Amino acid sequence: MIPLRAPRFWFEPFGWQAALLEPAAFVYGRVAARRMAEAPRRQAAAPVICIGNFTLGGGGKTPTAMALAEAARALGRTPGFLTRGHGGASRLPLLVEPDRHGAALVGDEALLLAERAPTAASPDRAAGALLLRHAGCDLFLMDDGFQSAQLQPDLALLVVDGATGLGNGRTFPAGPLRAPLGAQWPHADALLVIGAGEPGDAVARRAAADGKPVHRARLATVDAAGLRGVRCLAFAGIANPGKFHASLEEVGAKVETRRDFPDHHPFTEAEAHAILSDAEAKGLVPVTTAKDHVRLLAGGPQARLLGEAARVLRVALRFEDPAAPEAILLAAEAAFRARPPAVQPLAAAPVSALREAAASA
């Protein structure tokens, strides 16, 4: 199973831990590279922008998808989100309804995305695309799915964390890469570096040398002034909780206690009760992320109590160049218009069957 918390050695110079895992990484990398090279990618009936990354874990894909959706609406488009529904139990294609589908079924990211635009949660990206098309969407923003090679993107935008870049540059499990870099690079159309740092700058230089557009952005807190001076118990189950803590400190919050959990962590009743009790005993305000908040509100009684008591630190992606989102969208639409005839086009017939299956979920 892929770990939900990245080991430290992934982001350190190549050492003995990575060396021990190199044989497994070789096998994993061969399989991943073959899938990317040979998988029969389907073509959707609308432009597809894949927002992926080279490495496991977070990096800002979901905020990037949200920012592009906002830009698409400003251009008069009707965007929809495609997501696997990571952390959810459903294996059926679902058009997410936040009032009906909880995080346990469709995952936390799907619920966040569905607050902003129609969202299809489906391990089968092609089936999800059919649902979005039936919902009237004319642009598909695929959150992750770059390595799965199920759907042919018209533009693959690879997101890189400026502070960590590609880590030690090794393939899982010896490093954070989802597939050998040489197998991934040819399928990337553009790069987005989020935040500052030499690791991200190094990837940007390679992209520029290969003639790929490089965009830059940062994650900014939203409506966080009310947290200034607040004594906090900060808790989060995300890929990089250190970013969350740093953001709290940047807005002037006083982080006095921290509780870190693995990415997409389903909070138990005992954990929620312990966080509430600890915060009350120390006179602290519990603060968490938007992803964690939606999971709490869909949990048991103690989880919901914690969700109602917790303050939420929200972030949004801000492009360095305000014209970048429109450029990305128009490039994807131009690539869509220039497509050759689909070798394996998506059929429209299964839509009714998909809707019936989703209705029973």
* Separation in Å, CA 41 to CA 37, 197, 361: 10, 34, 27
Q: Is 88 annotated as a binding residue?
A: no
Of 235, 218, 267, 244, give the one whose Cα is nearest residue 87: 267
Report the DSSP pairing between strands 190-194 and 155-161: parallel
What does the angle CA 64 – CA 81 – CA 180 come to, to the nearest 5 degrees? Answer: 60
Report the DSSP pairing between strands 119-121 and 94-95: antiparallel
Q: Is 243 annotated as a binding residue?
A: no
- CB-neighbour burial class of residue 326 (10 A; exposed 0-12, middle 13-18, buried 19+): middle
- CB-neighbour burial class of residue 343 (10 A; exposed 0-12, middle 13-18, buried 19+): exposed
Q: Is 200 annotated as a binding residue?
A: no
What does the angle CA 162 – CA 165 – CA 168 come to, to the nearest 5 degrees? Answer: 150
Total number of residues shown for the chain: 361
Q: Is 55 annotated as a binding residue?
A: yes
Q: Is 57 annotated as a binding residue?
A: yes
**Residues in CB range of 20: below 8 A, 6 or more apart:** none
Q: Is 268 annotated as a binding residue?
A: no
**3 state SS of 119:** strand
Q: Is 60 annotated as a binding residue?
A: yes
C-alpha span between 110 and 92 (Å, rounded): 14
Q: Is 197 annotated as a binding residue?
A: no
Annotated binding residues for ATP = 55-62
Which residues are part of a known binding site?
55-62
